[in-house]
Structure 1
Amino acid sequence: MRDRATATLTTLIVDDEALACEELTYLLKDFPEVEVLATGRNGLEAVDLIQKLEPEMVFLDVQMPGLDGMGVIRQLRERGLELPHVIFITAYDQYAIEAFRLEALDYLLKPLDKGRLAETIERARRVIQERQKVDADPSPRLTPQRTKLLVRSDNRNFIVDAQDIIYATIDSGLITLVTTHLEGQSNYRTLEDLQANLDRDTFWRVHRSYLVNINRIKEVVPWFKSSYQLRMDDKKSTEVPVSRVQTKRLRELLKL
């Protein structure tokens, strides 16, 4: 295993074909920025390893016995876990549309091409670095802050006060806004765009899939592996996961 001081992309490989795992592991040895934490053989093992090791990047086979690659993503979401950057690897191209609908970082066809693999790793590195910069940057944005937002609910367009937003979440490319009075779809395409138009001192990106109003957090709930969930002040008392990076910030802010 590489020295963690030099590795920047912690990685998991999951494929039911042992030879495929070995081949990819061998190819990744030429990329010093990649650290392979473990390999898995099926979807259930993938879910457990992702939950245990929290890798930044996962190479995931699509067709596997039992729980397939797409099912792995769905199960992670059902458990409220933070999704790593997923690169699907398969011998078939008919799953590409579904893979990107599930917000996969990339979709690689077997046999793997080393040049194409290099492009994927570079893309992952850029995406992760940009996310780390956004998470760490406390400086205000120049984008004007909106006090009113549009929410589509029951085929109607409602205007809500930004301060009434409890949290926002994204799934399959759609952003859902939960407010004090209603729940519906936002017309923003990404949480980054939404956050950029809100007060960054009030709205906190606690997870890749969640943006919360800190004034609407009701309780901090201890969770798996010294992490936390935030119980929100909505009708369902929704519990929002806090990412590994933001857990550190949460501990610092609240002296946990």
Structure 2
Amino acid sequence: MSGVDASGPLRALVADDERLLREQLKSRLADVWPDLVICGEARDGQDAVNQAEALRPDVVFLDIRMPALTGLEAAREIVTLPNWDGEIVFVTAYDEYAVAAFEQGALDYLLKPVEAERLAQTAQRLKGRLASRRNRLADAAPAADDAALDALLEKFMRAQQSVQRPGGAAAEPPLRWVQCAVGSTTRLINVKDVLFFRSDEKYTRVQTRDQEALIRTPIRELLPRLDEQQFWQIHRSTIVNVEAIAAVTRDDSGRQRVQINGHPEVLEVSRSFSHLFRAF
């Protein structure tokens, strides 16, 4: 099925343009599936296709958003490789509207940041499918699996295109995590845990209940990528998580200030954004 000894260990290719995310996925795979051999890593979609052709892994973990080729485009090429009979798992930041495309069993998906419990479920499903494939006759119609995979890719494409921005451009899903510098360490922070973002000279400060981190993305570029129902800009240099707001006060001059749950910092609301808190 993959051009290697069918009695040998199962092998996987991990494709993601973010090195930290590749390392995180490999680490969690080692925990939940220690017998799986990571035979290669790819930094873009075309590299994933090339390595899949050369290495013939049993499983390819494909990030959806990659340069050169997207994960969807790479998957289309991989499933047309001669005698391809492996499994593809998408690793995606897309939420429920796209996830529904994968729920028919021939594919699996993982939402970023990848959670160990969800990955363990994926590993169990993959083990079962791959064991069945290794036990069947070599000519037991792999084309039927390819057809099912191709149909699901089409379904995913339609689900992705069904959400449109004004002007016809496809809407991107809200940002789910940020890659931040905490001292000399790079960490992933789930966006839902962020209390507020605040410009800090050349950087943007990311504040959670437990830590302060820095990213290079300016506020003006960060705002369109956040869920507008959850994050409000209250100042040209500040974006706040609405769920983290404890109270809004107003001083004698009419200036509003936001108090944050579980954090002592008080955030100023500029006059151009004061309409957000008319009820206060």
Provide TM-score, normalisation by structure 1: 0.48
